[in-house]
Amino acid sequence: MIHRIEPDIRNCHGKLSRDRKPILAVDSGDTIVADTRFCSWGLEPPPSPDVYPALPPLEDRADPVNDTGNCLLGPVEIRGAKPGMTLEVAIESMKCASYGITMIGGGPNPRYERLGLPEEFGWIYWAIDNAEGVAQSPQGYAIKLRPFLGSMGNCPNADGYLDNMAPRSVGGNIDCKELVAGSRLYLPIEVSGAMFSFGDGHAAQGDGEVGGAAIECPMTDVTLTLSLLDDFPVAYPVAKTPEGWVTFGFAADLHDAAYIAVNNMLGLMTWKLGISRQQAAMLASAAVDVRVTQMVNPAVGMHALLRHDAL
């Protein structure tokens, strides 16, 4: 069955909580089709490239106290989902809206200081041409589109309301440019129903997202098929992308995140290939790429990539 989710602000949320009621309940194998809002909750493009888009006031949101952070659609309940199962998110397709924005600054930040950047807020407006596959700015910059959702994740089993800006073992604000259409993302389930949320559309991003924001944009016709698996256990997000298998690591620093990602890759290789962990480590040295996912979120990310043609 196909379910349509409108980008009504009442279908959106910010902080994550197992106490939130789902906006929709679906069966395993169902497909959802949705338009997503801009990460900072706007929807309509600005009147000109010189004007930052108007954002809806907090009081318009379903929970003004807790709806801060990136704008996410959901949560979506998957009937029959239980802790210990895996949610497969088949990313079928998506399309960027007509505009995107890259933001930077807005206050003190150690990262800006280390990069020699001012604290003042600034942005680049991008006109997006999906037919040509390019984003162009009034300054004459042009970047090829590589659309993906920055945030896809289940609800963690934790008390209270949690910041959605940090990726977790159940997914969330992963910000990995590999998760393009044609990918399948596998997420651990910690709460009944999984309570899946998604959003934070990106038209293009470099590994690291070094300045703090990609080309952020609303998305249209995001099409995701949600299926429950009980024969593919994962303790951390895993993805099968057009390029290869990807495992992730999130931590307070990139070094620790890299070891988590590599450990997860070694576990995947031993399970998929039927080899020892020692053999997997030797093969990984020859065939696995370790990349910076993002270095800007409250938990930074690394990912390990085993290309389909590497072995």
Instruction: Please give the structure tokens belonging to residue 60.
Output: 């318009």
The CATH number that domain 2-44+62-242 falls under is: 2.60.120.580
pLDDT at 150: 98
Distance CA 20, CA 82 (A): 17
Distance of CA 311 to the CA centre of its chain: 28
Rounded (5°) CA angle 250-253-255: 90
Check pLDDT > 90 for residue 61.
no
Rounded (5°) CA angle 269-271-277: 60
Give 111's pLDDT tier (boundaries 50, 70, 90).
confident
Percentage of the chain beyond pLDDT 90 is 89
Within 13 Å, how many C-alpha atoms sit on residue 111's CB side?
Answer: 16
Check pLDDT > 90 for residue 134.
yes
- How, if at all, do strands 184-188 and 171-172 pair? unpaired
281-304: pLDDT as tens digits: 999 999 999 999 999 999 999 999
270-281: pLDDT as tens digits: 999 999 999 999
pTM listed for this prediction: 0.96
Question: What one-character-per-residue DSSP string does 159-224 give?
Answer: SS-B-TTS-BTTEES---TT--TT-EEEEE--STT--EEEEEEES---TB-TTS--SB--EEEEEE
Give 38's pLDDT tier (boundaries 50, 70, 90).
very high
CB atoms near residue 9 (< 10 Å): 16
Q: What is the mean pLDDT of residues 78-95?
A: 98
Closest CA to 186 of 174, 170, 200, 198: 170
Show me where the domains of the chain are located: 2-44+62-242
Q: What is the mean pLDDT of residues 97-107?
A: 93
